Amino acid sequence: MKKITTFLCVSVMLQSVAAQSFIQAYKDRADMVTQTNITTNLQEFGNLGIKTTGSVANTNTLNWIKNKYTSYGYTAGQMVESTFTYGSKTSKNLIITKTGTLYPNKFVIICGHYDTINGPGVNDNGSGTSIILEAARILKDVPTEYSIKFIHFSGEEQGLVGSSHYVNNVVYQGGVRKLDIKLVFNLDQVGGVKGNNNNTVYCDEDQGGVSSNNAASAAVTQQLRNCTALYSPLQTAVDPAEATDYIPFEQKGEVITGFFEKIRSNYPHTSKDTFANVDPVYVYNIGKAAVGALQHFATASTTSTLNKTASVHSLEAVKFYPNPANSILNIELPDSKVANFSFEMTNLTGRSLLKTNNETKINVSALEKGVYIGILKVGEQTVVKNILIDR
Ligand SMILES: [Zn+2]
């Protein structure tokens, strides 16, 4: 997690998004992030315990991440474990490489740390880890012009030990730059604060350190904001890049950007950094933004391989409106022929407050003003969204 800044330079300038156009294939793939996968990843990450660098839980988590990549179809040859020492202990970074079609030797790095401190670290940084896994799953067979490295760092909480090792021993060897990096896109602490309307994400811009790379960071951070607007429901704001795994790259002049939660949780680095205290819907939405942006950065194929019928009928496209709702909440299913579905609203601790079957107009007038979770189920499919009641 990043250290607290006493002075936040927040840019909320409205800038043109005209330079970047919407690409339907990118949207289709961003929409392949599922709430179920994000929630499962977060819960499994939480169950792995306190992942202090060099601990058994730290190693178990590395193996859990590796098993995910294997299940997505990545080969052992694409995965590299890179060992570093920290004091008397050792730990590993995990690097997965997907080769680009046009620029195989130029790399877009998407990264985040998996080590935690004092607690299970579901927000810091199970959230970033879960999103990187979803991005890797979805893009596995999607051609990209640039190569992508999905990197899971350890040792972050001891002072960026894993990422510093990577930059100084893998990117640079004997002082010679061995890896041509297009940009570094880091995700750290994007879990949100449960019970809040987490509708905005910080995009991290390099405003310090080496000055030669600041303008390039500003440009890619603007692109990250554009992609977030194009491929997710979230709003963005800019904050200064600091104290997470992109910094060792920044110090070598690389171009960096990243995501960080806008409403900041106080739970990271405590035993309360658990699944119950994050907002899984926020992580899901940042996942969509990340998959959209990663495709843009790596220039993914713009030809959709997605079956159009499947896309139209995907439950993720369900609409709840108006949101915020006052007395009646309407449910619009992506497939009007679906006759059997259930809908439930719970509060943020999961207590069920309302349950209906096969109704598209839900009377919510008995609910108090606030944030709720709506759960729609059709057969085996489930979709979960935040619903606001305002009056
Ligand atoms: Zn962190």
Average pLDDT over residues 66-75: 96
CA 179 / ligand 1 centre spacing (Å): 25
CA 108 / ligand 1 centre spacing (Å): 20
CA 2 / ligand 1 centre spacing (Å): 6
CA 53 / ligand 1 centre spacing (Å): 13
CA 302 / ligand 1 centre spacing (Å): 33
Q: Where are the domains of the chain?
A: 24-298, 319-389
CA 35 / ligand 1 centre spacing (Å): 22
CA 116 / ligand 1 centre spacing (Å): 8
CATH number of 319-389: 2.60.40.10
**Residue 338 CB contacts under 8 Å (≥ 6 apart), including other chains:** 378
CA 97 / ligand 1 centre spacing (Å): 23
23 vs 293: CA distance, rounded Å: 11
Confidence check: pLDDT of 312 > 60: no
Nearest to 126 by CA among 45, 35, 39, 61: 45
Please report the pLDDT score of residue 125 as a whole number: 98
- The pairing of strands 146-153 and 200-205 is unpaired
Same fold, 24-298 and 319-389: no
Q: Mind giving me the DSSP string for 154-223?
A: --GGGTSHHHHHHIIIIIEETTEE--EEEEEEEE------TTS---EEEEEE--SSSSTTHHHHHHHHHH
334 vs 317: CA distance, rounded Å: 6
Task: Give the whole-number percent of the chain exceeding pLDDT 90.
Answer: 79
Please report the pLDDT score of residue 310 as a whole number: 46
CA 114 / ligand 1 centre spacing (Å): 8
CA 380 / ligand 1 centre spacing (Å): 34
Confidence check: pLDDT of 309 > 80: no
CA 102 / ligand 1 centre spacing (Å): 33
CA 173 / ligand 1 centre spacing (Å): 27
Question: 175-225, pLDDT tens digit by residue?
Answer: 899 999 999 999 999 999 999 999 999 999 999 999 999 999 999 999 999
CA 143 / ligand 1 centre spacing (Å): 30
CA 264 / ligand 1 centre spacing (Å): 12
CA 88 / ligand 1 centre spacing (Å): 22
Confidence check: pLDDT of 18 > 80: no
- Verdict on whether the full-model pTM lies above 0.85: no
Nearest to 204 by CA among 180, 185, 191, 183: 185
CA 49 / ligand 1 centre spacing (Å): 16
For the packed helices 128-139 and 56-72, what is the interaxial angle rounded to 10 degrees? Answer: 20
163 vs 245: CA distance, rounded Å: 6
Average pLDDT over residues 274-281: 97
CA 127 / ligand 1 centre spacing (Å): 9
The CATH number for 24-298, chosen from 3.40.630.10, 3.50.50.60, 3.30.590.10, 1.10.3720.10, is 3.40.630.10
Please report the pLDDT score of residue 350 as a whole number: 74
